[in-house]
Amino acid sequence: MNTFQQQILHGIPVELPQAKKYDLEINHAPKRKDILSLDEKKLAIRNALRYFDKKHHEVLAKEFAQELKEYGRIYMYRFRPDYDIYARPIQEYPGKTEQAKAIMHMIQNNLNKAVAQHPHELITYGGNGAVFQNWAQYLLTMKYLAEMTDEQTLTIYSGHPMGLFPSNKNAPRVVVTNGMMIPNYSKPDDWERYNALGVTQYGQMTAGSYMYIGPQGIVHGTTITVLNAGRKIAKHGENLAGKLFVTSGLGGMSGAQPKAGNIAGCITVCAEINPKVVATRFGQNWVDEVITDLDILVKRVQKAKENKEVISIAYLGNIVNVWQKFDEASVFIDLGSDQTSLHNPWAGGYYPVGLSYEASNKMMAENPEKFKEKVQESLRLQTTSINKHTEKGTYFFDYGNAFLLEASRAGADIYLDSPTFQNRKNPPQSRGAVGVREFAYSSYVEDIMGPMCFDFGFGPFRWVCTSAKAKDLEKTDAIALEVLTKLKLESPTEIQQQMEDNMQWIKGAQENKLVVGSQARILYADAEGRSQIAEAFNQAIKNGTISAPIVLGRDHHDVSGTDSPFRETSNIYDGSQFTADMAIQNVIGDSFRGATWVSIHNGGGVGWGEVINGGFGMVLDGSEEASKRLQSMLFWDVNNGISRRSWARNDGAVFAIKRAMKKEANLKVTMPNSVATDLLENLF
Ligand SMILES: NC(=O)c1ccc[n+]([C@@H]2O[C@H](COP(=O)([O-])OP(=O)(O)OC[C@H]3O[C@@H](n4cnc5c(N)ncnc54)[C@H](O)[C@@H]3O)[C@@H](O)[C@H]2O)c1
Residue 639: pLDDT above 90? yes
Which atom of ligand 1 is the closest one to the Cα of 125? 15
Which atom of ligand 1 is the closest one to the Cα of 317? 33
Q: What is the pLDDT of residue 444?
A: 92
Residue 139: pLDDT above 90? yes
Does residue 130 or residue 30 have the better pLDDT? Answer: 130
Q: Taking the alpha carbons of 134, 137, 142, 143 in that order, is the dihedral positive or negative?
A: positive
State in Å: Cα 137 to ligand 1 middle. 28
Average of per-residue pLDDT across 349-357: 97
Q: Taking the alpha carbons of 555, 559, 564, 567 in that order, is the dihedral positive or negative?
A: positive
Residue 218 pLDDT level (bands cut at 50, 70, 90): confident
Residues contacting residue 472 through CB under 8 Å, at least 6 positions apart: 465, 519, 546, 547, 548
Residue 127 CB–ligand 1 contact under 6 Å: yes
Identify which of 340, 443, 524, 556 to mutate to test ligand 1's pocket (most ligand atoms within 8 A of the CB): 340
Residue 403 CB–ligand 1 contact under 6 Å: no
Q: What are the tens digits of pLDDT across the range 228-270?
A: 999 999 999 899 999 999 999 999 889 999 999 998 999 999 9
State in Å: Cα 254 to ligand 1 middle. 5
Q: What is the pLDDT of residue 596?
A: 98
Identify which of 110, 248, 254 to mutate to test ligand 1's pocket (most ligand atoms within 8 A of the CB): 254
Which atom of ligand 1 is the closest one to the Cα of 353? 31
State in Å: Cα 338 to ligand 1 middle. 8
Residue 159 CB–ligand 1 contact under 6 Å: no
Which atom of ligand 1 is the closest one to the Cα of 129? 15
Specify whether the CB–CB gap between 610 and 408 falls below 8 A.
no
Instruction: Using a pLDDT cut of 90, give the percent of the chain over it.
Output: 88
Give the 3-state secondary structure of residue 362.
Answer: helix
Residue 430: pLDDT above 80? yes
> How far is Cα 606 from Cα 443, in angstroms, rounded to an integer?
12
Residue 62: pLDDT above 90? yes
Q: What is the pLDDT of residue 434?
A: 74
Residue 129 CB–ligand 1 contact under 6 Å: no
Tell me the helices (H) and strands (E) count for the chain, helix number first: 23, 18
Residue 218 CB–ligand 1 contact under 6 Å: yes
Which residue CA neighbors atom 28 of ligand 1 most closely?
350
Q: What is the pLDDT of residue 217?
A: 85
Specify whether the CB–CB gap between 637 and 586 falls below 8 A.
yes
> How far is Cα 532 from Cα 480, in angstroms, rounded to an integer?
9
Average of per-residue pLDDT across 458-467: 97
Q: What are the tens digits of pLDDT across the range 98-110?
A: 999 999 999 999 9
Residue 435: pLDDT above 80? no
Residue 511: pLDDT above 90? no
Which residue CA neighbors atom 39 of ligand 1 most closely?
251
Which atom of ligand 1 is the closest one to the Cα of 341? 41
Average of per-residue pLDDT across 382-404: 96
Identify which of 202, 341, 564 to mutate to test ligand 1's pocket (most ligand atoms within 8 A of the CB): 341
Residue 443 CB–ligand 1 contact under 6 Å: no
Specify whether the CB–CB gap between 343 and 349 falls below 8 A.
yes
Specify whether the CB–CB gap between 115 and 517 falls below 8 A.
yes
Instruction: Give me the residues paired with residue 164 across strands.
Output: 154
Residue 68: pLDDT above 90? yes
Residue 202 CB–ligand 1 contact under 6 Å: no
Residue 303 pLDDT level (bands cut at 50, 70, 90): very high
State in Å: Cα 401 to ligand 1 middle. 7
Which atom of ligand 1 is the closest one to the Cα of 567? 6
Residue 348 CB–ligand 1 contact under 6 Å: no
State in Å: Cα 245 to ligand 1 middle. 16
State in Å: Cα 132 to ligand 1 middle. 21
Which residue CA neighbors atom 9 of ligand 1 most closely?
401
> How far is Cα 65 from Cα 625, in angstroms, rounded to an integer?
50
Which residue CA neighbors atom 18 of ligand 1 most closely?
251
* Average per-residue pLDDT for the chain: 95
Instruction: Using a pLDDT cut of 70, give the percent of the chain over it.
Output: 100
Range among 336-340, 427-431, 442-446 with highest mean pLDDT value: 336-340
Which residue CA neighbors atom 20 of ligand 1 most closely?
251
State in Å: Cα 272 to ligand 1 middle. 9
Range with lowest mean pLDDT among 191-195, 360-364, 506-510: 506-510
Residue 436 pLDDT level (bands cut at 50, 70, 90): confident
